[in-house]
Amino acid sequence: MDVASMQSRFEERIFGFQQVAGAELLKKKQENYAVELRKKIRSQNTTKRRAVVSGHSFLLHYSEKENVSVGNLPFHLIKMNPELASPDVNPIEKLRIIREIMVEDTDRNVLDQGLEVLAGVLKIEVDTPFSTIVYLGFIPILQRLMDYKYPTPIVLNATMCLANICNGPHEYASHVFKLDGIHSFLRIISSRNIQPTIMAIRGLANLCGDCYEFSTAIIESNLINQLSQLLENCRDDNLELMAVISHLARNITQNADDISIEQIDKIVQWIGKLIIFQDPEIKDDCLKALRNISKCEDNKKIELILENNLGEFCVQSLGNYEENLLKNASKIIANFFALDIEITQQLLDCGVLDKLLQLINHPSSEIRRSVYLALSNILCGTNYQKTKYLDHEIAAFSMRGLEDADANVKLECSTMLKNFINTSEYGLTLKLIELRIFDYLKNALDNDIEPDFLNNILSICDGLLEAGKQEQYRIRDVSNQIALMFEESGCLDVLENIIGNMEVGDIFQYAQQIHEEYFGQSFDSTDTKIYEVPAIFEFS
């Protein structure tokens, strides 16, 4: 080994020793500091006890804003904040000290500020071990302090801490649930003291968003009735209250199928009051809640949205520039039109078709797909809707989707046209030819065509042939255009390969029928291979 290598290894070992020594020194320093803090919190001198925790709220505000941990704050800030914020305090030791304050201190100011420290620790030091929170028994301590025999600031901070725990990992929320935390929050809400109530609703919203079991228990409680009464009696200018209620509505409706019609009606009425606020987050939460309800299996629940005049809100949201709002609004509209009910007429009267048309070329493929799904569902409606569809030349716009770069958008568009043809009178179907449907189909075909998409294309051609047969003079024209379409796109071999390799399935049926029409001959497959077509992607 040369001298340079020996020197390098020696330096590495020295550096390692320094690291170990430094860690031991820090550990010893932390232990000594914790001993000093414990002396202060057990002192008879209230000023000394307050020094341990006072001023921490400013520190938390700074650390959240700057996104730095408590231990890394500049020294000048540490000096002007509580001694418990020192980097010399180990996070777990910090929790033990806070617990002693909460259990033993009789000074309500010390107790209140100790709770503020805990709220910050739970929010910032997210890597605090769950076992420490449980072992030290913080949850029942907080539940004991959520009682109005204590001053409102203490109740508020205790509720905030419990809500923060619910926002942590599932294990945190699970322990709150097991210790009847839902009813602790409900008791706060029933008190009608607004600031603690806001924190309690936030805690319940966090539980709803955590898992199905918690959400179901909250649905079965009296919460929905309590919040309906609260909204009736409270001032409607409290933006923070409205924000937490909208967030709760969003999370609780994730299980909308499990909520009764009466409760859904109340939630929809909440939303009616919440949407008057121009806050983007509230609107986003409201639209997500409505989208959850619009996916219910029970159509009566979906009708409640329209009966409460929220259809117009959804239509207006289609003109929003916020992409999240647009996505949710377009998906709600699509779900609305899946209903076979006359009530959807109010959406047509609100100008929904024109709004959808404006989104056909939107940069987001997800929004474009929702638009085609909505139009597809309109086509399953009444003859009036179909006629209006064609009068608006929406078919001409919609056929452009066959050339879309996104495969899901192309599939949705082809499904829409297939549904239109399968449910329309022959005259309406033949009108698609006048709108140059074969040009769009030709451009959509290629040798790498997806099976689901090809199945739709062949179904469309089959429907056009059936319509052509009703007017004998047009059948030859339709047949020739289909033949030309496959020939010019270079996909005749695709059609023949399908017929030669399939024994069962819709694609075989369509392809064979189309081939017979313009070649005048049929194919008998001897290959037993089954061509498996994936299920058409359903919107959710």
Per-residue pLDDT, 199 = 93
Residue 5 placed within a domain: no
> Please, are residues 204 and 248 in contact by the beta-carbon 8 Å criterion?
yes
| Nearest of 361, 422, 436, 425 to residue 393 by alpha carbon | 436
Looking at residue 405, what DSSP letter applies? S
| Nearest of 331, 340, 286 to residue 313 by alpha carbon | 286
Residues written for the chain = 540
How far apart, in whole angstroms, are the C-alpha atoms of residue 96 and residue 355? 59
Per-residue pLDDT, 275 = 87
Please report how many Cα atoms fall inside a 13 Å half-sphere around the Cα of residue 282, on the Cβ side.
18
Looking at residue 393, what DSSP letter applies? T
> Please, are residues 537 and 366 in contact by the beta-carbon 8 Å criterion?
no
Residue listed under structure tokens 């939107």? 362
Which residues contact residue 190 at a Cβ distance below 8 angstroms, ignoring those fewer than 6 apart? Answer: 226
**Maximum CA extent, the chain:** 105
Residue 520 placed within a domain: yes
How far apart, in whole angstroms, are the C-alpha atoms of residue 245 and residue 274? 9
Residue 470 placed within a domain: yes
* Residue 513 Cα distances to 162, 372, 375, 414, angstroms: 67, 28, 28, 19
Number of structural domains (the chain) is 1
Per-residue pLDDT, 492 = 66
Residue 444 placed within a domain: yes
Residue 496 placed within a domain: yes
How far apart, in whole angstroms, are the C-alpha atoms of residue 60 and residue 163? 17
| Tokens standing for residue 52 | 């341990």
Mean pLDDT by 10 residues, the chain (540 residues): 54 46 56 72 72 51 39 35 64 79 78 78 60 80 88 89 85 88 92 89 91 89 90 81 93 92 94 87 92 91 88 85 84 80 73 83 87 77 57 66 87 85 79 84 78 85 82 73 77 61 48 56 37 29
Residue type, 288: K
Residue 485 placed within a domain: yes
| Tokens standing for residue 193 | 């003291």
Which residues contact residue 540 at a Cβ distance below 8 angstroms, ignoring those fewer than 6 apart? Answer: 295
> Please, are residues 195 and 152 in contact by the beta-carbon 8 Å criterion?
yes
Please report, to the nearest 10 degrees, the dihedral formed by the alpha carbons of residues 461, 463, 464, 466 taken in order. Answer: 120
| Tokens standing for residue 488 | 């010019």
Please report, to the nearest 10 degrees, the dihedral formed by the alpha carbons of residues 299, 300, 303, 305 taken in order. Answer: -110
Per-residue pLDDT, 2 = 56
pTM score > 0.75 for this model?
A: no
> Please, are residues 426 and 478 in contact by the beta-carbon 8 Å criterion?
no
How far apart, in whole angstroms, are the C-alpha atoms of residue 403 and residue 441? 8
How far apart, in whole angstroms, are the C-alpha atoms of residue 251 and residue 205? 6
Please report how many Cα atoms fall inside a 13 Å half-sphere around the Cα of residue 517, on the Cβ side.
26
Q: Which domain holds residue 471?
A: 425-540
> Please, are residues 482 and 518 in contact by the beta-carbon 8 Å criterion?
yes
